[in-house]
């Protein structure tokens, strides 16, 4: 079997790494891929957003399964195009991708199917949004309606911060078209968790729950990022709470997807906050999370290719789906300045040494320059390790982080501490 993985980040490296373990897979292509994927996949210079070029490539190479990593191609309709051409692809079509592609649509969907979430108001006009800020009390949660690379949520602790956030989105267009429409959402408190589920249109399976760390700096300070690290499983998520989430959130979501006549197989990411009033949905994503994928797939004992392939065929109930009882941690090493401006092209050292110490190094923003591995993005590497306990997994991971160096690199030092109970 031949597989095409679309994307170039740590998530896509992890997906390709796991698919490569399948005995059913003979060849993996990555479009465009990254420096870390070259040993397991043939990287091809096709942009992840160029759905027509990707379809032509899949037809030419007779690809048996395409797996879409980033959200952009899903929202733009790559699955619809592939289906029209008879190509097998894992991911939701453009209608299903609205779960992530439009915060307003997702909130309205949750309302229709009684899925617990925070209250919200949507705004298309800057003046009305500013009036709502003036009339409200902080903290405020301001969200861009569209895709903003994981950075379109701003939590504001004052009226001035909130007014500036609205200006950034609706007047200064810091998030492009994504911020032309915004929502002001109820601020919710409590620990956050992520649950990822494979859905084939009639059945679903759950990966082990994880916890992401969105803020750039220790103690959850600094701006939101695409994610600075994650760990799994989540020790404070007991059976009773898990069942409540499954019944009130996951089951209702998939029933809603069926009621909306959303076709195809895909991955639903549930971003959930555990409030005193019960678990509530913060957000949906329509694809594998990043960096959650880097901790859930090393803990998945099954054949990922088989799972995704059979999900597309609506045969998910025929495959083995088993999660390990071990723990996994991932710490992101980022470029100085991220998530703002940063420089690229710095040589990275210590990769082999960290690998020799039992770490799995997932590349996110890297490239090859004259035989050297160099930085090529904001989030550069995801240093990952598996162990019997979370404490041991974190120790192994941070041992690897200490070895890897490049100019102006930084990482959080407190990933996973919330799970050490």
pLDDT for the residue numbered 224: 86
Determine how β-strand 182-185 pairs with β-strand 120-123: antiparallel
94 has pLDDT over 80: yes
Instruction: Summarize the confidence of residues 355-359 as an average pLDDT.
Output: 95
Instruction: Summarize the confidence of residues 179-198 as an average pLDDT.
Output: 95
Asked if 321 and 296 count as a contact pair (C-beta separation under 8 A), the reply is no
Asked if 71 and 400 count as a contact pair (C-beta separation under 8 A), the reply is no
User: Tokens representing 92?
Assistant: 């939701």
Instruction: Summarize the confidence of residues 98-120 as an average pLDDT.
Output: 95
pLDDT in tens, 4-37: 999 999 999 999 999 999 999 999 999 999 999 9
Asked if 360 and 393 count as a contact pair (C-beta separation under 8 A), the reply is no
d(CA 145, CA 237): 30
Instruction: Give long-range contacts, CB 8 A cutoff, 24+ apart: 154-163.
Output: 154/224, 155/187, 155/224, 159/133, 159/134, 162/133, 162/136, 162/138, 163/130, 163/133
d(CA 286, CA 133): 30
Determine how β-strand 89-90 pairs with β-strand 65-68: parallel
pLDDT for the residue numbered 416: 96
Average pLDDT, the chain: 95
pLDDT for the residue numbered 178: 87
* % of the chain exceeding 70 in pLDDT: 100
pLDDT for the residue numbered 131: 92
Asked if 211 and 418 count as a contact pair (C-beta separation under 8 A), the reply is yes
Burial classification of residue 319, based on how many CB atoms lie within 10 Å of its CB (0-12 exposed, 13-18 middle, 19 or more buried):
middle
The least confident of 77-81, 134-138, 245-249, 344-348 is 134-138
d(CA 416, CA 421): 10
Give me the residues paired with residue 275 across strands. Answer: 278
Residues 6+ apart with CB under 8 A from 417: none
Closest-CA residue to 311 (of 196, 210, 212): 196
pLDDT in tens, 378-417: 999 999 999 999 999 999 999 999 999 999 999 999 999 9
Instruction: Summarize the confidence of residues 83-95 as an average pLDDT.
Output: 96
* % of the chain exceeding 90 in pLDDT: 94
pLDDT for the residue numbered 209: 98
39 has pLDDT over 80: yes
pLDDT for the residue numbered 147: 87
Q: What are phi and psi of 386, to 5 degrees?
A: -115, 140
pLDDT for the residue numbered 222: 92
pLDDT in tens, 111-154: 999 999 999 999 999 989 999 999 899 999 999 999 887 678 89
Q: What are phi and psi of 24, to 5 degrees?
A: -85, -10
Asked if 43 and 19 count as a contact pair (C-beta separation under 8 A), the reply is no
Instruction: Summarize the confidence of residues 58-83 as an average pLDDT.
Output: 97
The least confident of 43-52, 96-105, 140-149 is 140-149
- Cis geometry, peptide bond prior to residue 319 (ω within 30 degrees of 0): no
Q: For the chain, what is the HEC assignment?
A: CEEEEEECCHHHHHHHHHHCCCCCCCEEEEEECCHHHCCCCEECCCCCCCHHHHHHHHHHCCCCEEEECCHHHHHCCHHHHHHHCCCCEECCCCCCCHHHHCHHHHHHHHHHCCCCECCEEEECCHHHHHHHHHHCCCCEEEEECCCCCCCCEEEECCHHHHHHHHHHHHCCCCCHHHHCCEEEECCCCCCEEEEEEEECCCCEEECCCEEECCEEEHHHEEEECCCCEEEECCCCCCHHHHHHHHHHHHHHHHHHHHHCCCCCCEEEEEEEEEECCEEEEEEEECCCCCCCHHHHCCCECCCHHHHHHHHHCCCHHHCCCCECCCEEEEEEEECCCCCCCCCCCCECECHHHHHHCCCEEEECCEEEECCEEEECCCEEEEEEEEECCHHHHHHHHHHHHHHCECCCCECCCCCCHHHCC
d(CA 62, CA 55): 10
207 has pLDDT over 90: yes
Instruction: Summarize the confidence of residues 145-165 as an average pLDDT.
Output: 88
Domains parsed from the chain with CATH numbers: 2-94 (3.40.50.20), 121-185 (3.30.1490.20), 189-318 (3.30.470.20), 327-419 (3.90.600.10)
pLDDT for the residue numbered 151: 74
d(CA 209, CA 299): 11
Instruction: Summarize the confidence of residues 299-311 as an average pLDDT.
Output: 98
pLDDT for the residue numbered 355: 95
In this structure, what is the dihedral angle of CA atoms 291, 294, 300, 304, given to the nearest 10 degrees?
Answer: 90
Where do we find the tokens 């408190």?
A: 189
d(CA 312, CA 150): 27
421 has pLDDT over 80: no
pLDDT in tens, 220-231: 999 889 999 999
Asked if 368 and 38 count as a contact pair (C-beta separation under 8 A), the reply is yes
Q: How confident is the model at residue 263 (pLDDT cuts 50, 70, 90)?
A: confident
């Amino acid at each position: 079997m031949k597989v095409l993985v679309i994307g170039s980040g740590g998530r896509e490296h992890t997906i390709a790494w796991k698919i490569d373990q399948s005995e059913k897979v003979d060849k993996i292509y990555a479009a465009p891929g990254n420096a870390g994927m070259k040993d397991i996949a043939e990287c091809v210079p096709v942009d992840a957003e160029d759905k027509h070029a990707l379809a032509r490539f899949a037809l030419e190479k007779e690809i048996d399964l395409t797996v879409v990593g980033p959200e952009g191609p899903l929202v733009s309709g790559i699955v619809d195009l592939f289906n029209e051409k008879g190509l097998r692809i894992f991911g939701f079509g453009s209608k299903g991708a609205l779960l992530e592609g439009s915060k307003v649509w997702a909130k309205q969907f949750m309302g229709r199917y009684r899925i617990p979430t925070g209250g919200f108001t949507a705004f298309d006009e800057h003046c009305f949004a500013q009036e709502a800020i003036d009339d409200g009390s902080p903290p405020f949660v301001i969200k861009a309606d569209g895709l903003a690379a994981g950075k379109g949520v701003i939590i504001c602790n004052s009226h001035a911060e909130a007014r500036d956030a609205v200006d950034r989105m609706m007047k200064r267009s810091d998030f492009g078209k994504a911020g032309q429409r915004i929502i002001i959402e109820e601020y919710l408190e409590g620990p956050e968790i992520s649950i990822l589920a494979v859905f084939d249109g009639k059945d679903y399976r759950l990966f082990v729950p994880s916890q992401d760390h969105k803020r750039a700096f220790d103690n959850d300070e600094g701006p939101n990022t695409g994610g600075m690290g994650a760990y799994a499983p989540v020790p404070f998520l007991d059976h009773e709470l898990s069942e409540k989430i499954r019944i009130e959130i996951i089951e209702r979501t998939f029933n809603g997807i069926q009621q909306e006549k959303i076709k195809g197989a895909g991955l639903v990411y549930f971003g959930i906050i555990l409030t005193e009033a019960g678990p509530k949905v913060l957000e949906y994503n329509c694809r594998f999370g990043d960096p959650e994928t880097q901790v859930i797939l090393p803990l998945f004992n099954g054949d990922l290719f088989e799972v995704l392939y059979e999900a597309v065929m609506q045969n998910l109930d025929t495959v083995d789906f088993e999660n390990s009882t071990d723990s996994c941690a991932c710490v992101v090493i980022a470029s100085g300045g991220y998530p703002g401006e940063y420089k690229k092209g710095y040589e990275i050292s210590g990769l082999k040494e960290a690998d020799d110490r039992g770490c799995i190094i997932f590349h996110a923003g890297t490239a090859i320059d004259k035989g050297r591995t160099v930085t090529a993005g904001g989030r550069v590497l995801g240093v990952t390790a598996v162990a019997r306990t979370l404490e041991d997994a974190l120790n192994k991971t941070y041992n690897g982080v200490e070895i890897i160096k490049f100019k102006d690199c930084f990482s959080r030092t407190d990933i996973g501490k919330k799970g050490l109970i």
